[in-house]
Structure formats: C-alpha cells, structure tokens
Structure 1
Amino acid sequence: MKITMNRVSSALLACLVPFSAEAFEFEGYGRIGIGGADAGGKQSCFQLAGAAAKYRLGNECETYWELAGHQDLYKGADGTLWQVHGMVSLYNQYDQSLTFNDENGSVRLPQIWTSLKLPQLNGGGLWAGRRFYKRHDIHINDFYYWNPSGTGFGIEDYGLGDTGLRLSYAFSREDNIDQEDKANRHDINLGGIKANQDAEIEIGLSYIQQADHVEGSHSGWSISAEHKQVNFFGGENRFTVQYGEGPGNALGQTGNLLNDQDYKSIRILESPRWQITPQFGGQLLALVQHDRAPNNGDQTWYSFGVRPSYAFSERFKFYVELGHDQVDPEEGGTRKLTKFTVAPTLALGGMGFMDRPEIRLYWTYATWNRAAQESAEEGTALSDSGAFGSQRHGSNFGVQLETWW
C-alpha cells in the first residue's frame, strides 16, 4: 500500500499530540543538497560491490530527513515515567520525482513505540512497538554495524544491584523495508561492564528462530562485544568484535533466513573519534570482515577511512576525507575503490567535528579497478554503463546542508 504524506503526518501527530507543552520533546536529523558529475548529468555516488557501506562526505546522492517526537503520558512522584515515541522519515534520490515507497524514495514511520520506566527496575523500563534499538554506527560512512532494531517488546537497562551492570532483553521481528520474510529474534544485552579507566564493555547475544512459514529456513545466532573508551583525546574510541552463523551472519541484524550453519561471518573494527583542540577534530575507521558463504563464495572486506576537520574560525571549517574499500572474493579478481573529498564548510553550529548545522561545498574524486567495474550493478557509478562509462575514475561536486537537533 502506498502512503501519502498527509497519512504519515496525521498518524505521527495523532501519537505525539502533547498533553502539555513541557512534556513534549522534539528532535531530528536532515541532509539536503544538489550535485553533479564531471562527466555531465546528476551526481552518481561511489560504492564498492561487497562493501556494506561507503564513505559519505561528498558521496551522498539523496535527501534524507528524520523528525522524531517524545511525549510524556504519565510522570509519577516515585520516578515512574510513561512515554510514547514516534518518528517519520523521508528518503528521496537527487533529481528524482517521488511516489511514496517507490524505487526513488520512501516516506515511513520507522519508529512508533511506548516505554514505561519503573523504579522497581533499578533505572530500567519496559517497551513495546517498532523502534531503533541499541544501534551502533560509524559516522563517517554511516555504517550501522550493530543494529538489532525491529518490532517487538522488551525490558531495557535493568540495573543489577550496585554493580553498574545493565541487562536488557528484547523479542522482536526484523522490520527492514527490504526484508519480506520475518523471523522471531531474541536479543540479550549486558552493558556497563567496567574495564580500564573511563571505559566500558558491552556484550550482545542474538538468537534468530527458524521461521516455520519460510520453506528451507534455519535458525542462527551472533555475538557482539564492544570496548568503548570515553575521554579519548576529547572524543571516544570503539573497538568491536562480532561473529555470527546462519541468519546471524548479518552481525547484529537478521540475515538471510535460508542460510544454514555453514554461513559464518566475523568482523573486527577500530574507530577513534577525537577533538584534540576546539579547532581540530576527526574520525578514523579500520575494519576487516570475512564472510563464509558456501553457495555464493567466500569474501573478505577491508575498509580504511579518515576524516579530519579543522576550524579556521567560528564560521569556517575545512574537511578532508580519504576512504579505501577492498573486497577479496573467493572467485574473481580483487575489487578496489579509493575515494577522496575536500569540503570547505560554513559552520553554523560550532567549530567541533560533530557540531551542526553546516553547509558544505565539496569535490569528490574516486578511482577503481577493472574487477570493481565488472562486479558493479548496471547503471551505478562504477559500472561501464554508469555516469563515467568505461573510465575507472570520476569526480562529483556539489553543495550540502546537514543538521541535527
């Protein structure tokens, strides 16, 4: 069923009409821009086949907005708090007309859920609905490497005595727009594990049940462990290890339900983000992931990227981003893509790396090899039928506004 903007807006407002102005909270994210390619025509973005993400500065070919609201329904003197939460999102490819939920974009309600915080749960609470749940991402390539979101219910952040440990359990069904077949999923999460000074460890275990309604489906599982160091050169550092089998090989999400236990994936990533001075910040990512897929062939994905930022004044920043992705498949040649961006930026929210809003001018150059070209989907930037034809290099330019609040 196609969804109109009026229906989405009305549904969201119906859930979020404030009982009092003081009880309503509002937040959001948005990016919008316009770009072109040196070969002529619209901007065409660079992503390597087999890589789960792309380095995003000057390499986003869509408008995207999220609008979220949180409304208090009941607030007790003992700390009880009942809330309702909702979000509407808009995704639209550059230079494309949009019939909602078509190939050019979508308008969705990605979140609509309720929560009940109870003093008996030692800082924790209950929840039910469709929500973004305990998501972990890398900002510079927008990679949600740990994302057990879905539609379900659970208990979140139950405090285990005075230990500082937080235990969560969620039952859900995957609710991605691209996944037609759903399976029951169980997620157990333990956070607040003390490590070295200013650091905690978080561990998550996911179990995906075999779906009886899907012929040939299998059960699967995954485990994720993350060491997060705060006060790291003014920012933070994350070191994460993940392993999964069967449908759990999506590592923090639900994978293909037809995968048996011979399908296995392991991922290791390191990502420091720093703000060494008020002017100098940035983020780096180093990642390796190996996928064992008996029917499709094994592959290993390597990724390295860095985006430093320097503020020359309160209103002017300069970004540089370098990203390299490489995929080594079991059969065929090694695919390689290197992308470089420079972006002089009007800073409207502050000098820091993560301060927004800002307006960027950007120029992006990318180069790739023949194996990357041959494996690219028809019509995409890296393919010989894309914007750059038989060339194995190309550049884009444009302007973009990004903000959050």
Structure 2
Amino acid sequence: MRKLSLLAAALCAAASFTTGASVASAAEGAFTPTFDFHGYFRSGVGVSKDGAEASWSKTYLGRLGNEDDTYGELEFGSTVYKLNDVSFYLDAMVSMVTDGSNDDENTNGTDASTGNGDANFGLRQFNLQIKGLIPGQKDAVVWAGKRYYQRGDIHVIDTKYINISGAGAGVEYLKMGPGALSLAWIRADSQNVDYRYDDGYDEDSYYAEQNAAKSTTNINFLDARYAGSYWNGGWLEFISTVAIPQDPDTVTEGGPNGPNGSAVDVSPSAVYDNGTSFMGTIVLSQDMFGGYNKTVVQYANNGLAHNMVDMGGGWYDSWNDADSASGFRIMNTGEIPVTDDFRFTHALTYGYASDIGATVDDEDLISAVARVTYQTTQYSRIMAELGAFSQTVNYTNGTDWEVAGQKYTLALAFAPDKEILSRPELRIYASYITSDGDTDVSNSLGQAVYDNNFNFGVQAEAWW
C-alpha cells in the first residue's frame, strides 16, 4: 500500500499544481499556469518454445523482440509562475514495472514464483526548476529535487551511457562562450550491499549470521558538463563526473540500531572502499544525410570502471574490490535514411576494464546491433534487427570466462511516421536468440531455456 500511495501522491501533487499556481500568480494577474502530461510505456504478450518469453542481454543484442516486461512512466509538470523571463516549473514522475503475467499485478506479494509483489512502483522525479533567475542568463535553470539528469540514451539497445540521476541540486545551461555549462550535485547510494562477491560471507560475523543486514554506501556525485554546437549540424559535449563515497559506521536491520536495539558495525565486512572515482565522457554528434551519427568516448576508474564493460551509465560498485580499477569505452550510433522508405540504424560498442574485482585481471566487451526499416504503406513497415556480442573475463589465476550471443528479429510494425523512433508503435515480431560459451539464454525468472530460443509476440511502445 505504501508503494501505491506514491502514485496517488504524485497524482494529487500534479492536480494541485494549478490550484497552488493560481495563488502564486494572482498578484501578477496575467499568467495562466500550464499543465504538462508526459509518459512512456511498453507492454505486450509473447511466447517462446519453453513457455515464458525469453529476454536476454538486450543491451548487447538489441531490444526489438527481446523484451518481456510491462514498464511505464507517468510524468506531470506545471509552470506555476512566469513573469518576463523568470519561470518556476514543478515536475513529478512515477514509474512501474511488472512481468506482465497477470491481470491484477499489485504490490501485495502475491507472485508465488518470486515471493514478491507483481508490480514495483517508484518515485522517479520530484523537483523544482527555476529558469531565468540568474541575471543575464535567461536560459539558465536553477533546480533542486529528485530528477533524471541530462541522461544520454541509445534507444536501440536501451542503454544510458551517462545516467547520474537521483536527488540533488544544480544549475544548468549557463551560457559561456560558444557552449553552456551545467553543474550538479546528486546523491545516488549503493544500497542493500549484503555480499562481497570477491570474498563471500564471513561466517564469524553478525553480518553473515543474520543474512539480512544490509549496508549502504552514501555516494555523492559531482557532475560538470560543457556542451555546444561549434559548427553547422555538429554537437560536442564534455562531461566530468566524480563519485565520492562515504561508508556508514553501522547498518540497520529490524530497528534503528539493529534487531536487538544496539549499533552493529558490519560495514567493513559488507562493502568495499573503492574510494573517490572518476568518469570522463566526450560526446560528438553530427547531422548527416538527413540523419545523424553520434560517437561516445569514456574513461572511468575505481568504483565507476565496471560501467565500461556492463553498459552502465554511472552507478558505483561497492560489491567488488575495485580500488585500482580502470577502463574505457567507445560507442557509435546513428540513423541514416538510405531512401525515402528505407532507413538504417546501428549501435556499436567496445569496452575494456582491468582490476574490477579481486579475482579479475581484465574484461572486454564488443557488441554490434543493426536495425533496418522498410516503409510499406503510410502506417506500416517491416523491420529486421541483427545483434551480436562477445564478452571475455580473464581471471588472476589464469582461467577465463567467455560468452557470446546472437539475435535475429523480424517484425511488422505500425506507427504514424517513417522515422525509426516514431511512436506510438505496435509491432508483431519473431526472434531467434542463441548463445555460445559459458552461459545459456534465460528468461526473466532466471530459468534456463537451453542455448537457443525462439520468441513470438506482440508489443506496443509509446512516449508522449
């Protein structure tokens, strides 16, 4: 019920925007508050040869015909005050995710297959944005609260290459020279750290005996960005992100100081101190041939280095010994209209990281995804997507772990426009997913479905 109340609270807050705003603007008597409603969803039904639809490594193989969930976001916003160049904007968003297996998917813990509630609700954004407050900077925004912060997205593989989001504060779009500067302080903790993957449980500690105590590493992110268009059709962005961890002295379980009411110091055995970590990002985009091309180059160290080989966008690793880790990643994506009816998009990734665990020497990842679309009528189109990846982990004891996979998808889709990202879209698809190496394709419940699988399904996706 508590999670459901988040949705109710957000809806009530959104509804109150107009009421509250009328008071704020009454003195001016000239401004009518706006109301914005945005959202995203994907949902559908599918089947594989083993029953439940298989979804595996979509950030490596591509997402078309490789998703098995229902996910949605509802966002409500309002400009509650505006006078000349100064405006106050309130923003709220809730999200939900479920496996889509039942009609009544609630939060009561009725899903016997997982022991948890069918649906998970989350408060994703709740913030205030003040535009034009800084003299001489009418486009600059001062903000505070919880928000998605300038995320970088590659949609075809459902990957955010930069995603420093959470509760925070900052100022963005300060005009300086040919570009604009953005500065932010954001909190995004490593939560519920209950296992050190490199070492296992310490059987003599309270932490291991209880098997329920959790530790949280407080992570403060300091993020600086400078971006601008320096030539016709081009865009260049520089991002510097520093993660500063602060380990708590105690963890709590069952009460404010543990089940027996006393402070329990278990954080040294629960989390690794990977120290202050850095991630640098350069993004180069260029319009070309009626489409675009984007290249992303990144470097990261310590607790952020793993992002270079797991398609992460900036989360901090407190589970593995990575205080001397480093890595880099190069990504390229784009969309090209070959003809008026034929379009091509792709996503290429190469990542490398070393010392991201006590037993890991180095790890590399290569991934390639391509999607072609042919418009058959005004609203219908045929799509084909091919994806492949290979990942290798070399361990300090001389052994290695390798995995590779391929995906082949054919789909008939219906959308209001020719662009590949035109939405809403309804698609009927068939996918074949196969793996090689030391792992098997699994469905969302983690059940093995051998080393190949065939999906057939219908899915809708939209944003507005």
With the length of structure 2 as denominator, give the TM-score of the two structures: 0.77
Q: CA RMSD in A?
A: 2.5
Q: Distance in 2 between matches of 1:239 and 1:182?
A: 32
1:89 aligns with 2:152: no
Q: Distance in 2 between matches of 1:362 and 1:266?
A: 35
Q: Distance in 2 between matches of 1:371 and 1:382?
A: 19
Aligned counterpart for 1:342 among listed residues 380, 388, 410: 410
Give 3-state SS (helix, strand or coil) of 2:8's partner.
Answer: helix
Alpha carbons 1:16, 1:71 under 8 Å: kept: no
Alpha carbons 2:52, 2:443 under 8 Å: kept: no
1:43 aligns with 2:62: no
Amino acid at match of 1:354: L
Q: Which segments of 5 or more consecutive residues in structure 2 lack a partner in the other structure? A: 23-31, 110-115, 194-215, 249-266
Give 3-state SS (helix, strand or coil) of 1:317's partner.
Answer: strand
Report the CA distance between 1:65 and its aligned residue. 1.0
Report the CA distance between 1:285 and its aligned residue. 0.9
Amino acid at match of 1:83: Y
Report the CA distance between 1:34 and its aligned residue. 0.2
Aligned counterpart for 1:239 among listed residues 288, 295, 320: 295
- Structure 1 residue aligned with 2:278: 221
1:57 aligns with 2:64: yes
Report the CA distance between 1:17 and its aligned residue. 3.0
1:318-337 matched pairs, under 5 angstroms: 318-330=382-394, 331-337=399-405
- Structure 1 residue aligned with 2:422: 355
1:315 aligns with 2:379: yes
Q: Distance in 1 between matches of 2:49 and 2:302?
A: 43
With the length of structure 1 as denominator, give the TM-score of the two structures: 0.88
C-alpha spacing 1:315/1:76, structure 2 compared with 1 (3 Å): same
Identity score, percent: 25
Report the CA distance between 1:53 and its aligned residue. 4.6
C-alpha spacing 1:210/1:109, structure 2 compared with 1 (3 Å): closer
**Deviation readout 1:291-325 (Å, 9 max, x if unpaired):** 21241412101100001111111121111000101
Q: Distance in 2 between matches of 1:8 and 1:235?
A: 38
> Which stretch of the first structure deviates more once superposed, 174-183 or 291-300?
174-183
- Structure 2 residue aligned with 1:130: 146
Alpha carbons 2:96, 2:122 under 8 Å: kept: yes
**Deviation readout 1:91-144 (Å, 9 max, x if unpaired):** 111315644394744111111111001252341110011110010111111011
> Which stretch of the first structure deviates more once superposed, 246-255 or 358-367?
246-255
- Structure 1 residue aligned with 2:172: 156
Q: Distance in 1 between matches of 2:119 and 2:60?
A: 18
> Which stretch of the first structure deviates more once superposed, 85-94 or 19-28?
19-28
Give 3-state SS (helix, strand or coil) of 1:372's partner.
Answer: coil
- Structure 2 residue aligned with 1:282: 344
Give 3-state SS (helix, strand or coil) of 2:13's partner.
Answer: helix
Aligned counterpart for 1:187 among listed residues 223, 247, 250: 223
C-alpha spacing 1:333/1:248, structure 2 compared with 1 (3 Å): closer
Aligned counterpart for 1:303 among listed residues 361, 364, 367: 367
Q: Distance in 2 between matches of 1:23 and 1:185?
A: 32
Q: Distance in 2 between matches of 1:334 and 1:3?
A: 43
Alpha carbons 1:3, 1:107 under 8 Å: kept: no
Amino acid at match of 2:52: K
> Which stretch of the first structure deviates more once superposed, 317-326 or 211-220?
211-220
Report the CA distance between 1:283 and its aligned residue. 1.4
Amino acid at match of 2:93: M
C-alpha spacing 1:178/1:28, structure 2 compared with 1 (3 Å): farther
Aligned counterpart for 1:395 among listed residues 454, 458, 463: 454
- Structure 1 residue aligned with 2:199: none
Larger C-alpha radius of gyration, 1 or 2? 2
Give 3-state SS (helix, strand or coil) of 1:145's partner.
Answer: strand
Q: Distance in 2 between matches of 1:233 and 1:193?
A: 18
Amino acid at match of 2:390: Q
Q: Distance in 2 between matches of 1:185 and 1:299?
A: 25
Give 3-state SS (helix, strand or coil) of 1:17's partner.
Answer: helix
Q: Distance in 1 between matches of 2:232 and 2:329?
A: 26
Alpha carbons 2:428, 2:457 under 8 Å: kept: yes
Give 3-state SS (helix, strand or coil) of 1:140's partner.
Answer: helix
Q: Distance in 1 between matches of 2:238 and 2:217?
A: 27
C-alpha spacing 1:32/1:81, structure 2 compared with 1 (3 Å): same
C-alpha spacing 1:24/1:36, structure 2 compared with 1 (3 Å): same
Q: Distance in 2 between matches of 1:315 and 1:368?
A: 35
- Structure 1 residue aligned with 2:76: 69
Alpha carbons 2:190, 2:217 under 8 Å: kept: no
